[in-house]
Amino acid sequence: MWNAAVHAELLHDHSDYGYEVENIRFSWETLKAKRDAYVSHLNRIYRNNLDKAKIQTIQGHARFTSDPEPTVEVNGRKYTAPHILIATGGQPSVLSDAEVPGASLGITSDGFFELESLPKRSVIVGAGYIAVEIAGILSTLGSKTSLIIRQTGVLRTFDNFISTNCTKELQNSGVDIWKNSQVKSVCKTDKGLEVTLTTKDPEKKSDEEKINRLQEVDCLLWAIGRQPNTSGLNVGEMGVDTDERGHIVVDEFQNTTRQGIYAVGDVCGKALLTPVAIAAGRKLAHRLFEGKKDSKLDYSSIPTVVFSHPPIGTVGLTEEEAVKTRGKENVKIYKTSFTPMYHALTSRKSQCIMKLVCVGKEEKVVGLHMQGLGCDEMLQGFAVAIKIGATKADFDKTIAIHPTSSEEFVTMR
pLDDT in tens, 124-174: 999 999 999 999 999 999 999 999 999 999 999 999 999 999 999 999 999
Three-state SS for 240?
Answer: coil
| Each residue's pLDDT tens digit, 42-83 | 999 999 999 999 999 999 999 999 999 999 999 999 999 999
Model pTM score: 0.96
Share of the chain above pLDDT 90, in %: 97
Instruction: Check whether 207 has a pLDDT greater than 90.
Output: no
For the cut 90, the answer to whether the pLDDT of residue 23 exceeds it is no
Q: Could you give the maximum distance between any two Cα atoms of the chain, in Å?
A: 73
pLDDT reading at 359 higher than 80:
yes
Task: Provide mean pLDDT across the span 181-202.
Answer: 96
CA 148 to chain centre: 17
Question: Is residue 14 flagged as an active site residue?
Answer: no
Average pLDDT, the chain: 97
The Cα–Cα gap between 391 and 340 comes to 25
The HSE-up count of residue 387 (CA atoms within 13 Å, CB side) is 14
| Number of Cβ atoms within 10 Å of the Cβ of 266 | 23
Task: Say what the pLDDT of residue 343 is.
Answer: 97
How far is Cα 117 from Cα 140, in angstroms, rounded to an integer?
15
| Of 14-23, 28-37, 284-293, 295-304, minimum mean pLDDT range | 14-23
Distances (CA, A) of 294 to 58, 75, 166: 31, 37, 40
Position 238 scores a pLDDT of 92
409, pLDDT greater than 90:
yes
Q: Among 14, 286, 309, 402, which one carries the catalytic annotation?
A: 402
Q: Is the pLDDT of residue 316 over 80?
A: yes
- Nearest CA among 388, 381, 392, 384 for reference residue 359: 392
How high is the pLDDT of residue 208? 84
